[in-house]
Amino acid sequence: MDDLAPPPTTAAPTTAAIAENLTRVRDRIAIAAAAAGRQPTDITLVAVSKTKPAEAVRAALAAGQRIFGENRVQEAAGKFPGLRSDYPDLKLHLIGGLQTNKARDAVRLAEVIETLDRPRLADAIAAAIEKEGRTPTLLIEVNVGNEGQKSGIPRADADGFINDCKSRFGAALAGLMCVPPLDEDPRPHFTWLADRAARHGLPVVSMGMSADFDIAIACGATWVRVGSAIFGSR
């Protein structure tokens, strides 16, 4: 992920429209949870605000949303400190591929890093935790489709990496995350991820975006990451 170029800021809907979109997404979560025999409170909504201005995040905060996802450290660093001073209970998740040289900023800035995906990044995050005296919650991203250009640990290496990270980070390692291939049925990928988390006793399964979060909930997602259905297209 190129973190050097400034991210383009894209237009966001009005404050009222963002509040309405949030209500609609929360309703869809409740319906999908009920259909799966689960409680809506078992599902955490991560509102993905990448490329959207701080005012859009503010609109979601005013509507009660507190958990946000960003994919670039620099963009998050520009947007969130100001919002945090007004909303101290805000939680920031980093959901984009993370460069090792951004690990320290990531550890300083975020409550959750969802994209731990290789041993060298684990080293960098461990060093950053030591230096910052602050331990974010960590998820391992799995490249469930084994796609060439995609971040995430390959499926075949997942068990070994999960075990290493468990012994290294303890309970800070909370679960697994994935983004399945765009052009495939996500179900087998979602099911594989939920099963893998269960086998390792990891409580969090982060999967599902605007187009497929209902399916992800049916397959066992505990966190869904929803951007465009809340903040408009990018």
Ligand X SMILES: *Cc1c(COP(=O)(O)O)cnc(C)c1O
Residues at the site binding ligand X, with contacts judged by CB under 6 A:
48, 50, 71, 95-96, 179, 209-211, 225-229
Give the residue with the Cβ less far from ligand X, 48 or 106.
48
**How far is Cα 77 from Cα 53, in angstroms, rounded to an integer?**
13
Give the residue with the Cβ less far from ligand X, 65 or 210.
210
The backbone torsions φ and ψ at residue 115, rounded to the nearest 5 degrees and listed phi first, read -125, 40
Give the residue with the Cβ less far from ligand X, 56 or 229.
229
- Please say whether the beta carbons of 144 and 125 come within 8 A: no
**How far is Cα 215 from Cα 66, in angstroms, rounded to an integer?**
23
Give the residue with the Cβ less far from ligand X, 71 or 137.
71
**How far is Cα 70 from Cα 188, in angstroms, rounded to an integer?**
26
Give the residue with the Cβ less far from ligand X, 49 or 202.
49
| Nearest-approach distance from CB 203 to ligand X, in angstroms | 19
Q: Which helix (H) or strand (E) holds 140?
A: strand 137-143
| Nearest-approach distance from CB 95 to ligand X, in angstroms | 4
| Nearest-approach distance from CB 111 to ligand X, in angstroms | 16
| Nearest-approach distance from CB 88 to ligand X, in angstroms | 25
| Nearest-approach distance from CB 178 to ligand X, in angstroms | 9
**How far is Cα 229 from Cα 178, in angstroms, rounded to an integer?**
19
> How many Cβ atoms sit within 10 Å of the Cβ of residue 196?
21
Q: b/e for 97-116, b at 16 or more Cβ within 10 A?
A: bbbeebbbbbbebbebbbbb
Give the residue with the Cβ less far from ligand X, 97 or 132.
97
Fill in the DSSP letter of residue 8: P
| Nearest-approach distance from CB 64 to ligand X, in angstroms | 19
| Closest CB to ligand X: residue number | 227
